[in-house]
Structure 1
């Protein structure tokens, strides 16, 4: 564990000039460390995402919570979150373009060893990093929590460099077990090293302590599970530590 961490916001842009603001956290270290991008739920780059970045820094990684909507836009309203998310689906290249810009920004920081990169993502953010991995991004590991697993286009052999860990709730009504099976088939066909862990009695959003509150406010089927969150984070760090050599 790091003895102390530092944080800062970083402005960055895509080639079309759209502006984004990410949140960077890193251990107080004299040597560059492995870097991890953190891709947020459809709510945007909020405090929860920043918390996960700080936790990664405390564990010894440099972490960058990326901004997928631009201008640091966040919401607690599901209709607004859905609208923003769907805007990123209008052009099939938007998600990978924005995620790639975030990954490049992370890799460019002086605290980061650009040869050791990984990505984690939650819900919509899980789809973001899976599509980033499918694009051939230089990632050692990818970890998703209650993610949309559907690809823009199925991965082909040799495309995905990362080892992938999918953490899924058995009672997730938004991403079915059939969707999980289809993902497994995609990974097997592309010969990608992967693991899927399915948590009993866990719903969509299981990793976020605010999931129950958001479910009630928006009439959506989310639910927090402290046990699934705990076991998911243990599995995540086991993979990151093994692949990134921490």
Structure 2
């Protein structure tokens, strides 16, 4: 049975309220940081964290926006907050690395075995963590945005996996090729999985109800990408 606890983190005048999901035994375990979508910490991400806990990992859902968990989020305000973070990718990178540092020093976190995964905007954030050159085990992006941050490139130390819907209108095929070239230039061990006839947001069972063109759940892609993530984490934490 998993347990949940807030990690309050003061950053640049904001209180970030990360949520750790753990097994309550006090064991030192590999830890996965989950960077959620623009909507922040939601039941979907908590479910992912519980699944990771069942696999034998601690999971920390990162709060990028300085708001506590709430099932109801003002979408307009959420997208505005995301836009502010995306407008300064250097500052966003620093925020992300501060979160990694906070998690690494937590009791019962194996600091040598930390990975970051992210969804949608969080997937872009996960890739930016890898691009920073920080020495962590791995990074995985689910239907993330691929556009580079426009910062001086650094060697990429983390292994990288990206799970992408081929029909995602936010990430055209040329962006997929560009990411592969970027990761190759960074010198990292990388893999990109593209799922045919799959749109943006495919891991979210509620995606099709959002009424956003090009955003749609796909059960097969969600299942296949999670199975691949399990294998990826098993490899990077070995």
Instruction: Please indicate the TM-score interval, normalised by the length of the shorter structure.
Output: over 0.9
Runs of at least 5 residues in structure 2 that lack an aligned partner in the other structure: none
Q: How far does residue 77 in structure 1 lie from its aligned partner after superposition? A: 5.3
What does residue 44 of structure 1 align with? Answer: 40
Change over 3 Å in CA distance of 1:166–1:40 after alignment to 2: same
Q: 2:80 aligns with which of 67, 73, 83?
A: 83
Residue ranges of structure 1 left out of the alignment (5+ in a row):
none
- Once the two structures are superposed, residues 187-227 of structure 1 have per-residue CA deviations (whole angstroms, 9 ceiling, x without a partner) of 1122211011111121100011110112x2xx342100010
Aligned to 1:204: 200
1:94-113 equivalent positions in 2, closer than 5 A: 94-113=91-110
CA offsets per residue over residues 19-59 of structure 1, 9 Å max, x none? 10011011244430011100011111212112211111111
Larger deviation: 128-137 or 228-237?
128-137
Task: Report the Cα distance in structure 2 between the residues aligned to 1:184 and 1:11, rounded to whole angstroms.
Answer: 36
Q: Tell me how far apart the structure 2 counterparts of residues 86 and 123 of structure 1 sit (CA, whole Å).
A: 13
Q: Report whether the alignment pairs 1:174 with 2:167.
A: no
The correspondence for 1:226, drawn from 219, 231, 235, is 219
Contact 1:134 / 1:155 at 8 angstroms: preserved in 2?
A: no
Cα distance in 1, alignment partners of residues 156 and 136 from structure 2: 8
Aligned length: 237
Task: Give CA deviations for 1:77-96 in whole Å, capped at 9, x if unaligned.
Answer: 54333211101123332311
Distance 1:35 1:58 in 2: 12
- Residue deviations 1:79-124, cap 9 Å, x none? 3332111011233323112212221222122121111110100010
Verify: 1:68 aligned to 2:64, yes or no. Answer: yes
Q: Tell me how far 1:155 sits from its aligned partner.
A: 7.0
- How much is the aligned-residue C-alpha RMSD, in angstroms? 1.8
Secondary structure of the structure 2 residue equivalent to 1:13:
strand
1:125 CA displacement: 0.2
**Normalization by structure 2: what TM-score?**
0.93
Alignment of 1:110-189 (within 5 A): 110-153=107-150, 156=153, 159-189=155-185
Structure 1 residues 70 and 76 mapped into 2: Cα distance closer, same or farther (>3 Å)? closer
1:176 and 1:127 map into 2 onto residues whose CA distance is 15
Q: What's the secondary structure of 2:205's corresponding residue?
A: coil
Q: Of 9, 13, 30, which residue of structure 1 is paired with 2:10? A: 13
Within the candidate set 172, 190, 194, 1:194 is matched to 190
**Other structure's SS at 1:93 match:** helix
* CA separation of 1:105 and 1:40: change in aligned 2, threshold 3 A: same
1:238 aligns with 2:231: yes
Q: Structure 1: how far apart are the matches of 2:20 and 2:182?
A: 33
Q: Secondary structure at the match of 2:89?
A: coil
Q: Cα–Cα, structure 1 residues 77 and 202, in superposed 2: closer, same or farther, change >3 Å?
A: farther
Q: Cα gap change, 1:179/1:92 in structure 2, threshold over 3 Å: closer, same or farther?
A: same
